[in-house]
Structure 1
């Protein structure tokens, strides 16, 4: 089993990439096996097209990349998401990843009482985000789409529990020292 890192930021000069590099460094120091899903670098197409929607209720896809990502997730025991919070939510490419990859009979089955998550091999997860808004504002005034929707509903719905969320507020406008401090905090979680 290994750690899978999902990076959902298009610019490799971003602070998200610095977070990614910090995570990789820590995993390599600990000699942990890892694999990377860099959605933008992989040219992942997040659009759920008609041909895929026709197969959606069967839990099938025509997208070979989706099949590869599913294989990677089955080999995963720790999952790390790294992404910016845009418009108080996940980036579109990450939403598309969820829509296309987390298919029925792969990541969940339907029961009489709701979804039963199938990705129970993933025993821990970290969601590491960046934002311009302060974390308290995202949590208390904007409906907290990261904790309440992405973590408590989406990830839990596919069987991923034990999720830790770290957010770097004021990422663009804040001081360099705050960003350095956040990278040290990220390193402590690995």
Structure 2
């Protein structure tokens, strides 16, 4: 299976960077063809330009500025996202990727005023993420990152595609042991992906 791994963390030596490396290593060891897209290392520009916004619904022309990323997304059979939760949302780099790459004609179409998902080439999704705060705090806030993943990503991919959300909460007070356990959990999930 061709797996597009999207990673969004500016510090490669971080725990999130280590999670990213583990995911890629285990996916490759399991025999998957991995397209490792490290948005920071590739210097992806997350800013949607004026021209891009004006041409947002011009299917075909709207993909020109990000054609390489669109091609990679369309070539993927599965998607793995590895990123930290910051301020109860995606890092700006990843949010910008969604704004610029998940375009009309790519992730959805408009058909007589109805939005229709169209990333049906993606047959499996996994999210690997870290939160600074506790799970309780995330729940009290409504856990927007989990909702975004479960309610947006799940809907635009192949209907019924397996979906997993692996989160390490309370990174601000994590220990070597909690990080080791989560790293093990991520490795096992990627072995079975």
Q: Do they fold alike, i.e. is TM over 0.5?
A: yes
* Alignment partners' CA distance in 1, 2:113 and 2:135: 33
Aligned to 1:147: 146
Within 5 Å, give how 1:164-183 maps onto structure 2: 164-183=164-183
Other structure's SS at 1:189 match: helix
Q: Please, what TM-score do these two structures have when normalized by structure 2? A: 0.89
Native 8 Å contact 2:47 2:96 kept in 1: yes
Native 8 Å contact 2:24 2:36 kept in 1: no
Moved more, 164-173 or 39-48: 164-173
Aligned to 2:10: 10
Moved more, 18-27 or 80-89: 18-27
Other structure's SS at 2:109 match: strand
Q: 2:157 aligns with which of 154, 159, 167?
A: 159
Within 5 Å, give how 1:3-152 maps onto structure 2: 3-59=3-59, 60-63=62-65, 66-112=66-112, 114-138=114-138, 140-152=139-151
Native 8 Å contact 2:83 2:91 kept in 1: yes
* Cα separation, partners in 2 of 1:156 and 1:29, compared to 1, 3 Å: closer
Other structure's SS at 1:9 match: coil
Q: Please, what TM-score do these two structures have when normalized by structure 1? A: 0.91
Native 8 Å contact 1:6 1:80 kept in 2: yes
* Alignment partners' CA distance in 1, 2:113 and 2:83: 32
Residue 148 of structure 1 and its aligned partner are, at CA, apart by 1.8
Q: How many residues align?
A: 186
* Cα separation, partners in 2 of 1:43 and 1:106, compared to 1, 3 Å: same
Native 8 Å contact 2:133 2:172 kept in 1: no
Native 8 Å contact 1:102 1:158 kept in 2: no
* Alignment partners' CA distance in 2, 1:2 and 1:159: 15
Native 8 Å contact 1:51 1:62 kept in 2: no
* Alignment partners' CA distance in 1, 2:64 and 2:98: 16
Unaligned 5+ runs, structure 1 = none
Unaligned 5+ runs, structure 2 = none
